Structure 1
Amino acid sequence: MEAAARSRKRGPYQRSHERRERIALAVLQLVDEFGHEGVTTALVAAGADSSEPTVLYHFPTKDHLLVAALDRMDDLEADLSGVDDGRAALDLDSLREVANAAVTAHDRRLRLFVMLRGQAATPGHPAAEYFTRRTERALAVWSDMITKRQRDGLAHPGLDPRATARQILALWDGLVLAHFSDRDFDCGQALVDGVRLLTGQNWIEGLAMLNRPGLGL
């Protein structure tokens, strides 16, 4: 009986959570189709099989809706990559492919990301809290992957994984902006080159080359 009572108490919350996720997914689909400029509460309500008052109850402004779309995008990508359960690995060939896919297949999502990144500097804007959460989540994932590469001898053992992760995130943000200035720019390769330099992999491979028999100094 006690378990049933707890279940009833969780019921409305669970329904509300599912409704919010459905609305966020509808926004993300509209972004993919029209770009963030084409998102309206009427279209969101239709896509989420809801009403405009319900949409606005959960997300009071368009900016809240757009932030929710990015949040939903992050969750979907995390499910695919396994970053939250430790399945992700920093394979540089895969990283190159993922980065290039991100700037080609999801151009409209990236434009939304860049737009909200700028809005995050405005006090009280919903994007500010989102980017704080996103940065912490990304730092944890990248720090873990760098630590694994240190154990495997693929990253300099003296690195601070978190500090290096922050540098890699800053590099990626800059590469995204470079992509919008030059659509032929190879973001994936530039990211891989940057990761190799920032993690000391170039140094490790150069040292290994010097230590090969017949090549030592």
Structure 2
Amino acid sequence: MTDTAPSASKRGPYARSRVRREQISDAVLRLVDAQGHEGVTTALVAKESGVPEPSVLYHFPTKDHLLVGAMERADDLSADDSGAEGDDSHLDPEDLRRALQPGPVGDRRVRLYLMLKGQAATPDHPAGAYLRARTERSVRIFSRLVARRQHEGLAHPGLDPDQVALQITALMDGVALMRMTNSDLDAGALVADGVRRLVGENWMRARALLDAPDVGL
């Protein structure tokens, strides 16, 4: 009979480690949401999470790793909430517009994200690997959504979904930066309109009207 104990014991510690990392990252997010990323310390994270400081440092050896871990957690939670990686997800510009409404919590996370983008070029900084993975994930999600919108007749059939997905990702990053320096900017409206233009939605709707049979003539 095959002994399965080693496999089970391997899964156990891994699962506990993942739960502990999420517990710590959730605490960092709460601190960022409450006061911004600048004042986050390992001592505060330990107090907020209920995890001893040496254990915090075991999972995240520096403050930079803590902040990157928090953004990774925020991305996962956002993807879960929006269902963006689900099989039945859709690319709705109005959903993007609503998601980008301004607010103190969202802006603090955006400031953290932009700070990490500034650090990404520093050799061996954890932000570099995080941002590469984040961009790849974003492009993968949007590429699938653009292809689905093409199938629905709401995106130009001649577009390359991967290229459009990269353009949407760049658009959202650029608008996030602009919003930090222009509080009057309607970021949601700008992104929603930009996505419609990038996928050729207005062109597709106009074509559908032209192709529709005349009614009442």
TM-score (ref. length: structure 2): 0.92
Checking the alignment, whether the CA contact within 8 Å between 1:30 and 1:39 is kept in structure 2 is: yes
- Find the aligned partners of 1:98 and 1:163 in 2 and give their Cα distance: 23
| Counterpart AA for 1:82 | G
Q: Deviations over 1:14-48 (max 9, x none)?
A: 22221111111111111011100010100101112
- Find the aligned partners of 1:88 and 1:124 in 2 and give their Cα distance: 35
Partner of residue 77, structure 1: 78
Partner of residue 108, structure 1: 108
TM-score (ref. length: structure 1): 0.92
Q: Deviations over 1:83-128 (max 9, x none)?
A: 2232321122222111225x65411111000100111111211000
| Counterpart AA for 1:199 | V
Q: Deviations over 1:143-163 (max 9, x none)?
A: 011001100110000000000
Change (3 A) 1:59 1:182: same
Query: What residue ranges of structure 1 are gaps of 5+ in the alignment?
Result: none
Higher helix share: 1
| Counterpart AA for 2:83 | G
Partner of residue 23, structure 1: 24
Q: How does 1:36-47 map to 2 (within 5 A)?
A: 36-47=37-48
Change (3 A) 1:52 1:104: closer
| Equivalent position SS for 1:36 | coil
- Find the aligned partners of 1:9 and 1:154 in 2 and give their Cα distance: 47
Query: What residue ranges of structure 2 are gaps of 5+ in the alignment?
Result: none
Partner of residue 194, structure 1: 194
Partner of residue 132, structure 1: 132
Q: How does 1:198-209 map to 2 (within 5 A)?
A: 198-209=198-209
Partner of residue 98, structure 2: 97
The percent identity for this pair of structures is: 53
